[in-house]
Structure formats: C-alpha cells, structure tokens
Chain A
Amino acid sequence: MSGNMAEKAAQNFVEAYEAARTALPGADGWLARRRAAAIESFAGAGLPHRRLEEWKYTDLRQTLDKAGFASAPEHMGAVVLPEAAAASAFSTLDRYVLVFVNGRFRADLSKAARLPKGVELHGLADVLTEQWAKDLIERRFDEARQAEEIVDLNTALMNDGMCLRIRKGVKLDKPVHLLFLAADGGASHTRNLILLEEEAEGTVLESHIGEAASFADIVTDVALGDGAKLDHVKLQDESADAVHLATLRGEIGAGARLSSFTLTLGCGVSRGQSFIRFAGEGAEAHVNGAYALRAKQHADQFCVVDHAVPRCASNTVFKGVLDGQSEGVFQGKVIVRPDAQKTDGRQMTQALLLSRDAAMNAKPELEIYADDVQCAHGSTVGELSKDALFYLRSRGIPEAEARRLLVLAFLDDVITLAPHEEVRDILRGLVSGWFEEAST
C-alpha cells in the first residue's frame, strides 16, 4: 500500500474496507478471510490502468482518482425515479421487481412475493451460509483469470446483491427485474449470484439508473447447470458523472444456454466485462450488446469466451453509435483450448461514427489451440453510408429522417439478438428516444 498520490482512489477503497470491515455481510464467517485476502491483493495491484493490456483503452485508475468517490450513504426514505425513459423501461412487463438504492436492497420498494416453488430469491447477506453461494464467490480464488483482478475490489467490499437460485427443472414464470438506482453520489459494490440447476430456466432483467455522481461496481456470477437456460438483459443509463463497472462471469454446463444482452446509453465512463467459460459440451453462449454514446461518454465492452470443452458455440456481437466526443471500445477474445474440437466461435464489432470528434478502438482477438474449429471475427468502423443516405433522399425522405432510419436500422441488427420480443420492443423504443434527443 503506497502513499502515492496517483493511487489515491485505491487508497480510499482500502480505507473504506478498514472502516466497514466489521459491518459487512459475513463478517463472522468464511467470507471475512476471503475479503481480507482480496483487499490485500487489490492493494498490491492497485486500480487497473492503461499500461495493462486488458485496460489499454480505459484508465480506471485515472478516472476514479479524478472523481474521488466516497462510499455511497444508505438511503432510507422514499425515492423518486429519474425522468429518463430508461427508468421506467421494463415497467410494462409482468415481473418480479427488486429495488436497490445506492447499492442496498430495499424490501419496502420491491415486489417479489409468491415465487414459484423451487425458486429462491434473497439478499446477499442471507445466503452467505449456503454452500452454493460460497462456491460462486470463491471461484476467483480457484485460479486467477485474466482481467478479473478488479473483482477483488468487489469481493472485499460487496455489501448487497440479488441471489437467485432456481432448482432442478423449475422454470421461473416471469422475469426478475433488478432496478439499481443511484439516488446519492458515492461508490457501491454489489454482488449478484445466479444459480440455475439442471434444466432450470429463467430471465433476469437489470436496469441501472440514476442522476447522481456514483461509482457502481457490480459483479454478477452465474452458474448454469446442464441444460439450463438463462436470459439476461442489462440496461444502463446513469448520469454523465457516473462511473459504471460491471463484470459478468458465467460458467455454463453441458447443453446449457446463456443469452445476454447489454444496452449502454448513460454514464461518463462505463466498462462492461463478460467472462464466459464453457464447462460442458454442447453449450451455447450469446453475449451481445448495443451502445449509443454522445458528449464525452466513454464505453468499454470487454468480452472473453473460453471454449474449454468441445462442441460449444459462442456468438458475440457489439454495435455502437458514437456522437459528440464520445469514445467506444470493444475488446474481445475467443479462446479455444486444446481438445475443444468442433468449436464454433464468432465475434463481431461494428461502430458508426456520427461526429468528427468521436473515436473508436477495437481489438477482437482469437486464441486457438485446436484445429477442428470454425472461428471468425470481424470489425468495422465507418460513418453513415453516403450512398444509402442518397438513396433514401432520392425517394423523398428528408435527410434527418433518412439518418434516423439508418442509425436505428444499424442498431436494430443487434437488438434483434436480445431475448424476448417485448424486451426487444422496449430496447428499440429507448434507442429511438436516444436518437431524438441527440438530434435536438
């Protein structure tokens, strides 16, 4: 632990840990040791910075040093949702709602009664004595994985989160919606645990909203048993002063299927990381996303799919529209381990630059150690096609409308990959609203 000025933010987190240590969930059990080990390893490494290959385009250290977040306070009273369309995005769906304010679960605002038999839904503190939760949390300590070091920060400081367990063969009747609201400024550390046992099915929706200068550090650990199916949609629209760091780690059993989609609209600096690992043959993972940025927003999408076993398929598509002085990043990697024959791994990143000052950095990587595989990746960057614009205008469509059509069509390509028709419609509405705002 150095007293270095440049490490100010890391130092703050270490101090926050010392201050909160005894009050954090699981302070009297096995987790206390894990937290101690995690904070030590975090203090040693510090916050990630540009000189680390995985963080080449996003300097979290600099961002957090500049912002200087303290811990977010607990918010007790009533809350007002921001006016942004994203705040009420999933409200038309029939769903279970879990509300987290400043990173803490608020039972009084939530609505998750009468869950089907075989579905367990708890706050983090309530499941720490259960073996399955311990297994998920301790995974980080089994083997160090690349770019996951930052998860140590979350392990040390995680305060709350949603823990969902669906028993063997049970199908969740309606989506679980997690609404994370940053009502006040400050840092919050959330850990969600999702376990779907064999042949279980479920849908989890997440929305992250707020108008405060907040730092949201969210880790979602997912384990899918053989033949399980999880649909996961995450929507993020926070304030321009907010920093968002979300890590999704998934372990997928034989014949299971994970379908994940992220729409990023808000936030000053956001980083969405996904680490997917196939544990059984014949599994499938879809990790897709769209982002629409403007002003000085910076969004980094980082995705590693590890084909550790044969006969799995993965597909990653990220598409983004960049306006203003915004900057988009895509870093992806498909790893095919020795013996992971018959792998089908695909990766695509496309970005549309709408302004002179926008920038895009992409790095789709393949790392392949088996020969009988089909792997491909693609990457394109460009502006709106002049030919396409001309075509539409020659048919009497005004330029503004033509631009709108082309931008929305560009994003629609990937929104189509999101699970559930109603969800897709909601996402389309949000993107369209974003464009209206951008052009006025």
Chain B
Amino acid sequence: MSTNSLTLAPAPRSEAAEQVRAEVREFLAAELAAGSFTTHVDTWLSGVDPAFSRKLGERGWLGMTWPKKYGGHERSAMERYAVTEELLAAGAPVAAHWIADRQSGPNLLTYGTEQQRQELLPRIAAGECYFVIGMSEPDSGSDLASIRTKATRNGGGDWVVNGAKVWTSNAHHSHYAITLVRTSPQDTANRHAGMSQLLIDLSLPGITINPIRILDGGHHFNEMVFEDVVVPGDMLLGEEGNGWHQVTAELAFERSGPERFLSTYPLVAEFARRVAAADDPAAVATLGRLSASILALRQMSLRIAAALDRGELPNIPAALVKDVGTTFEGDVIDEIRRVVDVTPSLDSPDPLGRALAEAQLHAPGYTLRGGTNEILRGIVARGLGLR
C-alpha cells in the first residue's frame, strides 16, 4: 500500500504490546499510589520530571524501537504505542524526554553519524538527555520554508549560527536542539533548498533562552536566540541542504502518535467518574459518544504504528489523524460542559473543574502545534489529488 494513501491496512493484534501495556499500567498505579506524580491534562507539554523520565528509561520504555547497540530495545512500534498511550492516559509527567524519544532519536537513527548516534542515543534511551525542536521562528510559523536562522562555515570548518527559534517547548530543560537553519541563501525557484539540520548543544556560548508564558502562565515555550554560536562542524545532522526533506520525515513521527488525541484524556477520565456517580442519561450518552471517538482514533493511530513497523513513513495518514485527533481534544471540553454543571478553575476543589480549566487554557495549542490543522488539511488535500 502506498505510504501516501489516505487509508492504511488494519493493525494486527500484538500480544507483546498487551504484555508491556499491563506492565506499564502496574508501574503507573504504583507510582500514583506512592505519590510520585499527580495526574494532569496535556502533560507531554507541561509535565517535566527528569526523575520520572529516568525511571522509564530504566524500565526500557524509552528508545524502545531502536537497535540495542544504541541503548534501544528493538521492540515494535506497536509496543511503543501501548507504552506511550498508557503514560498519556494516566496524565504522567513525560514532557522532559518526549521530543527526544519521539522524533529526535529516530531522526538521529536515520540521518546521524555513527559518532552522533553512539554519543546521544543511549543517553536519550536512559531518560537523561532531552531535545527541543528548533523549527518555528518569529517570522516563520506555518511557512516553515521561510526561516532565516543562518549557519555559515568559518575557517575552521565549524558552523556559526545566528537567528532565533520560538515556541521551543522545554528548551530550558533540554540539552540539545535539532535546529533547522539556512546553509545557503534563499532560492526563490526552489524554496525547499538550502536548509540543513544542526545538532546544537544548548550549553554553547551565545545561546539565550527566554521564557514565553502560555495562557495559564506556565513556562513551557521559549525563544532561543543564537548570536554567533559556534557549532562544531561534525554536528551537522544528515546532509547539508537536505534539511527540508529531513524535517518532513521527522514530522511523520511528530504527528502520528496518541498524544494527538489524548492530551485531554485525563479530563475525560474525570468526567467518567462523575457520570458513574450520577444517574443522568444525557451524560451517559455523551460518555458513549466520546468513547466512540477515542476508539476510532486509537484504531487510526494503531494503523500508523503498524505502518511504521512495516518501514513506512505515512505522512498523509499522520496528518489526517492529527487533524481529527486534535479537533477532538478540544471538542471534549464543550461536550462535557454541556452535560455537567461545573465551573472551570485551576483552584477548584473539584478535580473535574481543575481538569476542565487545564484543558481549556491549553486548548488553542492542540490544533496549532506540530502543524496547524489548516496545513494538515492541505497535506490531506494533496493526498486526495487536489493539489
């Protein structure tokens, strides 16, 4: 089946995935009971907890699909899917390692040099080394090809980087930024040419990380400013000039996972507790509708995991799942509001009121991050043969 086809084959059942799911569930129940974390909405953005990430690394739940020689565990994408969705459903603090495990590691595996892989992948798999995405800029959002951050070679063969990247989630907790930079001047005939990816150690001189607070006051976003930052020549990731292609491949990983429909799942779980305690047919029906949507999204997302196991990079189905899934993440809020008498507040004594507040204040981000839904629908339209 073509990787650009909109529909993918059904995912096979995976006993191994169900096995590891049970293990993760047991681990999470124990951690919750021990008070090592509390459940929150959208924790893959806001739940930074290096100690928790290291625990996952110790159990072999990071870098799951990577080769063992790089600290990975050579397990299937279906098994990794089960682990990630259990963590998200529990609202566990996974933000520290999330980007590195999801897309930076696979990017390094595909395009990294042997030295880069050996140095970085085992640390990512151990839950000790965190990455931030360096794509968007102050003047380049959806139009990523218009980036201006520039890297030029100096006499010693190193790169000198100048520019700024924004919306860089958890840059202030990260060790590296995979940064899309312009290594040749903009070519109006080929907008996608002349870009490269650099592996930038965030401890290098000349890098300033400034917080950008989101609606709830949380500090997750940053502006990363590069002023004559000297990046060693061997920190080029992949090929010079191949940056656009590499970024596109990375986005298949960025867009396809269960975090694209489970960001607000902890709110749904809290709602279910309320429904169970009441006797309200309308609320029961709403829970049924939300459940049907989640079940469908899981099947869509599982099909992508199965396609990754077949060695495909299903960009278009990934865009489709992300469009439907992130829309659902926001819809949940109003579906629940319509059948429950509850006021959203971060200070609410009612856990449902708190979850609702968290979900609402993060809501604008769901359909923006990782490619706006308008951009995603453009990709789907291309898959339909319209563009």
Q: Do the two shown chains form a genuine complex with each other?
A: no
> Which residues of A line the B interface, CB within 8 A?
none
